[in-house]
Each structure stands twice: as C-alpha cells, then as structure tokens.
Structure 1
Amino acid sequence: MFPTYTTCRYLYCFQVEALADQLTQREGELIQEKDEVKKLATFLKQASQDAKKLVDEERAFARAEIENARAAVQRVEEALQEHERMSRALGKQDLEELMKDVREARRIRMLHQPSKVMDMEHELQALRIQLAEKSKHYLKLQKELTMSKKGKENTPYLYEIDGTEALGSYLVIYHCSDRAREISECNIQWYRSTSECGKKELISGATKSVYAPEPFDVGRFLEAVIMTDGQTITVRTTTPIDSAAGLGNYVEALVRRHDTEFNVVIIQINGVDNQSQSIHVLHVGKMRMKLCKGKTTVAKEYYSNLMQLCGVRGGGNAAAQAVYWQAKDGQSFVLAFESERERNAAIMLARRFAFDCNIMLAGPDDRAATGT
C-alpha cells in the first residue's frame, strides 16, 4: 500500500524541522567556537605583551647591572692607581730622607773624623795661596821692568792694570800719574789677543775700568784702550791669562754627571736690577740650561745659537763671581755664584755640553771673533 499525499507531506515537514533544529544547534556551536577563538586571541595578545614587557624589564636590569659592574671596575682601577701613586710618593720621600740621612752622616763624619781627602784639600789650598803670592810677585817684577823700559824710552806712563792675571780674579785700570785724568772720565774698551802683537778681538760690552777674566780669556793677553783728551792709550796684561788651579779637573768630574746644580742670586733680569736676594738654582745639563726657584721654573732653554753665556763684563769686584746668560731673545739674566770657582766651572761646563750639541756658547759678538 502506497503512502498518501498527506502522509508524505507530513514526513517532509518533519524532516525539514529536524534539519532546521540541527542547523540551529550547529549555528550555536559555531558562535560558541567563535567566542572561544576571540578569547584565545585576546589571551595570546595579552601574553605577548606581558612577555615583551618582561623582556624589556630584564634587558633594563641587565644594562643596569653592566653599568654597575663597569663603575665598580673603574673604582677599583682608580683605587689601584691611587695606591700606586701613593706608594711611589712614599718611596721617593723615603729615598730622599735616606739620602739626607746619608749626607748628614757623611757631614758629621767629616767634622769629627777628618780624612786624608780633607788634608789634601788643605794642602792644595795652601799651595794655591803660595802660587798666587808668587804670581803677584812675578807680575810686580814684570810691571817694574815695563816701567823701566818706558822710562828709558821717555814714554808717558799714565795708566796701568792691577790684579792677578788669572781666572778667579778681576783686573782694575788705575791712573798712576798726576797728569792722567780720572779713569771714570775716560772711554774704555777691552780687547783680547793671542800674542803681544797679535790681532785684537773686541770684547763687546767690556767698557768699564774693571774686568773679570773668564774661561774664554785663558791663554790670551788682555788689553784696554783708553781714550781721553784726544789721546789713545793702551794698557795690557804682562802675561796671558792663566787658568785657576784644579779647575780643569773639577770640570771634568762634573762632565760625568747628567745635570749639575749651582746656587745663584739673580742680579738683573733683562737689564733691570733685581731687588730680591733669594737663592735660585741654575741647572747645567747635557742638553739644556734651567733656572729655578724651588719648584718654579724661571727659564728653561735648550742649547741654541740664540743662547749666550759669558762672564759679566764690568760691575766691580763682584764681576769675578757673576755671569751674563741670555737664555733666548728677550730673556737675559745676570747671575751671581757662591764663588769664582763655581762661576768659571758653570761657564766651562755649559760650553762643553753646548759644543757636544754643535753650538758655540759664548758672549755677545764672540762668535764672530771665533769665526763661528
């Protein structure tokens, strides 16, 4: 028996409703899955942001730790350097104190236990005094002989040079006749020559009645031309200038040092009198000269053709202990030493070191005279 139309329609409607229910149910499930996907996406996004924030925080913390470590290392390095500097300073101070103690011990020993060296020094000093006396006596005889010759030749004898003709002394021109004018009223110029009839070399700036021989004059005659009342009168030393006893050996001993210190007083600066009498130290080194007061450097120059050094050309009996030093153009000094020996040793030592640097260290215009 076949189903009727009504039955078929009823079955069809029933199937459609069942299918609609299934679709509705499936749509609900899809909506629920979509909501879950959205929740999951939101959760993942939040997790990503949290992870990024955590990474940034860890990175900042790591950077801070690195900076702290660097600062700590720098502090340690600075502390080590400071410790090293302090150790050096303390070591240097200890060494200086030790050297002072050694020098003081030597001084006390020399005071209480005179050595053979001191005895020899006393003997040498006595011999120097005897030699100076004999030299004066010899010069006196030479002058008397010269006066006798001039008397026979009817030569007017108006002026004469007095003084020991050697390093460490000073020569003075004086008038020895009532007909002669006062020497202060005359024009004077000093010269040096290699022999009695040799070519004269003008000593620039030596225009006073007093002249202290310097090492450059050793072995040469000195003469002065006196101009007064239209007359030109020449006086000269009776013998070449002699070196000071023991000076050469003293300088040779100083040459072995890298630097030698001399105590000096500044008399003039750039031609202007210096009122201060404070002690300065003149360093004469193998490459340069330096003038200091304590830790303050007054002048420091390497040997050069601009530098000049010579004995003071005039200035009274103190000239034998003074030098003229031009460190460079526009900077010059007149320095007084503790003794004539120190003054001449400083000049000879500086010239020796300058010569090793191919520099002729001399006074104003002396290079022209020596052909340099």
Structure 2
Amino acid sequence: MTRVIYDSGESMHKEAKDMVSRDVNLPKGRFPDYKTGANNTIIEPEEAPKSAPLKEIVAKETAQLLQQQKRLSVRDLKEKFEKGLAGAAKLSDEAKKREAASLDRQVLLKKLRDVLDSLKGRVAGRNRDETEEAISLVEALAVQLTQREGELIHEKVEVKKLANFLKQATEDAKKVVEEERALAIAEIEKAKLAIERVEKAWLEHETVATDKDQQELEELRNEVREARRIKMLHQPSKVMDMEFELQALRSLVLEKSQLCAQLKKELAMIKKLEEVKSTIFELQGNEVLGSILTIVCQVDAGPNISTCLIQWFRLLPAGTTRELIRGATKTMYAPEPFDVGKVLQAEIMLSSEKAAVTTTGPINTAAGLDNYVGSLYKLSDSEFTVSVIQMNGQDFASKSVHTFHVGRLRLKLRKGRSTKAKESYSNKMMLCGSRGGGNAAAKAVFWQARNGQIFTLAFQSERERNAALILARRFASDCNVALVGPEDQASVAMS
C-alpha cells in the first residue's frame, strides 16, 4: 500500500533550498561536473589546477606590447600589432561561440525544468522529493549560468575594445611605415643625384687635366728642340764631326753594295752549276708544313740513292750561309716549324761529286695553324694524345696511348696516372721534329727531357705535332730558354 504525504509548497521549497546549499558545490566560471553514488550522494571530482582567466592573459600581453613599443622598430611594431589584431579576432570568435553555447544551455535548462515540473505532478512520496531536489538544482544551475553570461558579455566588450585599439594601432603603424619608406626613397634619390654630380665633376676635371698635361708636354718638347738648336749653334765643331762621319758611312755603303753585286754574280754562277748536277734528282712533295719531301732519281740508269750519303740543310734568307739539320740523313724529310720561311736543300754525296736539290721556294705554314696555336697559348696546360715509338734509342715495345702535356713551365709525359717524364724548361732540354725519315716523320717529334732520357713520340695528326712544337717553344721562350734540336745553332758556310 502506497503512503501519500501532503505538505505545503513553502516547506518543500525550503527543504530543496537547504539541500542545494548543503550538497551542491558550483565552481565559478564553469558548469558543475559531479557524479551520484549510493543513496543519491553527490561525489565531487578532483579539482583540476585553475587556469588564469582569459581577460588576465589579454591584459598581460597588452602590457608587454606597450612596454616593448618604445624599443621596437617600426616594422616590428607593425608585425606585433597585426599579430595582436589576429589574436583579438580569434578571441572575438571564441566569445561568439561561447555565447551561442550559453544560449543552448539556457534552452536545455528551461526544457529540463519543464520536464521536471511535469514529472513532479505525476509522482508522489520519495520520488516527488527527489524531483523537487532536481528542480532546485536546475534553478541553481540557471543562476550560475546567468552570472557566467554576464561575465562573458563583459569580456566580449573588453575584447572588442582591445581589437579596436589594436586595429587603430596597426593602421598607425602602416602609416608610419609608409612615411618612413617615402623618406628612405627620397634620401636614395638625393644620394643618386649627388653621385651623378660627383661623377660629372670628376670627368670634367679629368678631361681638363688631360688637356693640360698634353699642352705642357708639347711645350716641353718645343723647349728641348730650341735648346738643341742653340747648343748646336754654339758647338760648330761637333757639327763638322758629324758631317765627316756621314761621308765615311756613305763610302762604306758604296763598297758594300759593290761587294754584294759581285757576290750575287758568283751565286748565280754556282746555281747554274748546281742545276746541271741536280737534274738527275728531284724533290717531290708539297712545300708546306705537315707534308713530307722525298728525293727521287729521274734517270732510270742513275745511281742507287739508298746507298748515297744525304744531308739536309736550311738556307738562311741572306743566301750566304746554311744551317745543318743534324739527323736528317734520309731520302725523306718532314719540315718542322723552324723551316717555315726558309728554303730547304738536300745534298747527295756521289762517288766522285756532289749533287744538291733545293725547294722552289720557302716552306709555307699550314692553313689555320696560327689560330689553333693562339687558342692553345691562352691555356696554362694543353694535352696531346701520343704513342711512344722509341725510348733512349730503343724501339718501345708497348704501343699504348700516352698523354703529352705542354705547360707554361714544364713538359710532361703520362700514361694514365703514372708519370713517365716531367721536366721544366732548361738549356739541357731538346725538342724538334723527327729527322729519321719514314712515312710517320710528319707526325713524330724528338724530345730529350734530360741527359739520358730521350723519346720519339708520334702524334695523331700533323697539325697536333706542329702545334705542340710551336707552343712548347713559345712557353720555353717566355722562360728564357731556346728549345731546338741537336746542334741546330751550328751553321756552315756555303760551299
């Protein structure tokens, strides 16, 4: 049987109020978070460490910005204000979200209150008491929520003020930046104009100074001429001595010219005699650098040229002397860069007399060789691919590929990473074209690195061989060294 207890509303309200004030603990600034245990006892959770209110954080950052404003640059201040404005906008958005959440909670509490009121009329006894306690708890929560809404509204107003302040400060910072930029541009333009004026003045000064120096130099020249004229007027004996010297020189030149004419006549007669003797032999081949000259016999019944002694010479431009080309004792000879511009002559020793064959004109250089050498001369080191034919007079067994380096200070022969020979330019070094004859003579060179170390190297082409010779001799000349062949400086008188 159910027991029904009737009581007035005031006693129930008072009892519910006492229960709320005795059992409920509502922390300020947030909704209560609790659990119910046995006999409807409220169990409070462990309190989390309290965080500083958002208003205090904003106030602290604003104070720090104001303190740093005096020692920050305009650009940094602008960036700080923009960051603060972004933070204020973020806080405003969070306030709006909290306001919306607060409205949702008010609606939920109102609905919960209505549900509890409707439930109150349907239950009796202990359930009714519990319902009234729940209604009192909901009303207390509504009071707390109203207080929180007031605080949120106040914080929203403060955030709006701060946002407006930061926005205005950002605008002011932008204006200051633009003003400073305009001032900097103006200063730069003034500096450019000043530099142009200085350059113009300097050019004018330099032009005036040059003209003045030229004028002074011309005046000095005139003074020197006048001084010389006056000196000659006061020293007539020296003038007479100079006249006597001129007369002696004229007579000496006349004697030399007569002697030269006589020598030309004798030379013409010698050439005629040699032409008669040399009709048996003839030189074949292009008279140009990079070719091979060969002595051939024009008469079928003529002497066997392979058994004759042969010697090649260079005829000097004067025509009175000739240079012996040591080692050139074969029927074939490949001209080298030393022979360019000179006439070559081969002397054949027969049993009872001599015969000589001579090129029709000076040896010409190869086309494009000077430009090729000029481009290589700009480099500090040039590499050429070669093969070693002989080493110290002995045939080289291996025909492997080597690299010949022509540098500004030294010559070097390498095979892969190993160095076969490396010597600086010196008077003991010799370098010339190969004079041993053969079809490969136009591509080969004779190189004596030092005493006891001699190589015969074959290049891949006649152009590379001649370029290497010219380039090495130029670099050696820069070091005051003359790279020649064996006894190239020896000359003999014309027979």
What's the TM-score once normalised by structure 1's chain length? Answer: 0.57
Separation in 2 of the partners of 1:340 and 1:155?
33
Question: Which structure would you say has the larger Rg?
Answer: 2
Is 1:335 equivalent to 2:457 in the alignment? yes
Superposition deviation, residue 269 in structure 1: 0.1
Superposition deviation, residue 156 in structure 1: 6.1
Equivalent runs, 1:57-206 vs 2, <5 Å: 157-195=279-317, 197-206=319-328
Is 1:359 equivalent to 2:481 in the alignment? yes
Against the structure 1 CA distance between its residues 336 and 280, is the aligned structure 2 distance closer, same or farther, given a 3 Å change threshold?
A: same
Separation in 2 of the partners of 1:305 and 1:157?
42
Separation in 2 of the partners of 1:325 and 1:249?
25
- For the 8 Å contact 1:160–1:173, the answer to whether it is kept is yes
Q: Which residue pairs with 1:306 in the alignment? A: 428
Paired letter, 2:349: M
Separation in 2 of the partners of 1:300 and 1:274?
18
- For the 8 Å contact 1:214–1:344, the answer to whether it is kept is yes
Separation in 2 of the partners of 1:369 and 1:304?
22
Is 1:246 equivalent to 2:363 in the alignment? no
Separation in 2 of the partners of 1:168 and 1:257?
24
Is 1:348 equivalent to 2:470 in the alignment? yes
Superposition deviation, residue 317 in structure 1: 1.5
Against the structure 1 CA distance between its residues 361 and 154, is the aligned structure 2 distance closer, same or farther, given a 3 Å change threshold?
A: closer
Against the structure 1 CA distance between its residues 281 and 162, is the aligned structure 2 distance closer, same or farther, given a 3 Å change threshold?
A: same
SS of structure 2 residue aligned to 1:355: helix
SS of structure 1 residue aligned to 2:382: strand
Unaligned regions of 5+ residues in structure 2, if any?
Answer: 1-270
Q: Which residue pairs with 1:37 in the alignment? A: none
Against the structure 1 CA distance between its residues 227 and 348, is the aligned structure 2 distance closer, same or farther, given a 3 Å change threshold?
A: same
Separation in 2 of the partners of 1:342 and 1:296?
23
Q: Which residue pairs with 2:342 in the alignment? A: 220
Separation in 1 of the partners of 2:289 and 2:318?
19
Equivalent runs, 1:262-277 vs 2, <5 Å: 262-277=384-399
Q: Which residue pairs with 2:409 in the alignment? A: 287
Against the structure 1 CA distance between its residues 299 and 266, is the aligned structure 2 distance closer, same or farther, given a 3 Å change threshold?
A: same
Superposition deviation, residue 290 in structure 1: 0.2
Separation in 1 of the partners of 2:340 and 2:277?
29
Higher strand share: 1
Paired letter, 2:451: D
Separation in 2 of the partners of 1:288 and 1:336?
19
Against the structure 1 CA distance between its residues 156 and 203, is the aligned structure 2 distance closer, same or farther, given a 3 Å change threshold?
A: closer
Equivalent runs, 1:314-325 vs 2, <5 Å: 314-325=436-447
Superposition deviation, residue 275 in structure 1: 2.0
Separation in 1 of the partners of 2:276 and 2:349?
20
Q: Which residue pairs with 1:92 in the alignment? A: none
Q: Deviations over 1:259-295 (max 9, x none)?
A: 0000000000001001211000000000000000001
SS of structure 1 residue aligned to 2:441: helix
Separation in 1 of the partners of 2:278 and 2:444?
35
Paired letter, 1:329: N
Paired letter, 2:344: L
Please identify, of 190-199 and 299-308, the stretch whose mean Cα deviation from structure 2 is larger: 190-199
Paired letter, 2:460: E
Q: Deviations over 1:191-223 (max 9, x none)?
A: 001248331110011101010000000000000
Paired letter, 1:273: D
Q: Which segments of structure 1 move beyond 4 Å, counting only runs of 4 or more?
A: 153-156
Q: Deviations over 1:109-146 (max 9, x none)?
A: xxxxxxxxxxxxxxxxxxxxxxxxxxxxxxxxxxxxxx
Superposition deviation, residue 231 in structure 1: 1.4
Superposition deviation, residue 230 in structure 1: 1.6
Q: Which residue pairs with 2:207 in the alignment? A: none
Q: Which residue pairs with 1:60 in the alignment? A: none
Superposition deviation, residue 182 in structure 1: 1.5
Paired letter, 1:162: Q
Task: Give the share of equivalent positions with the same residue, in percent.
Answer: 56
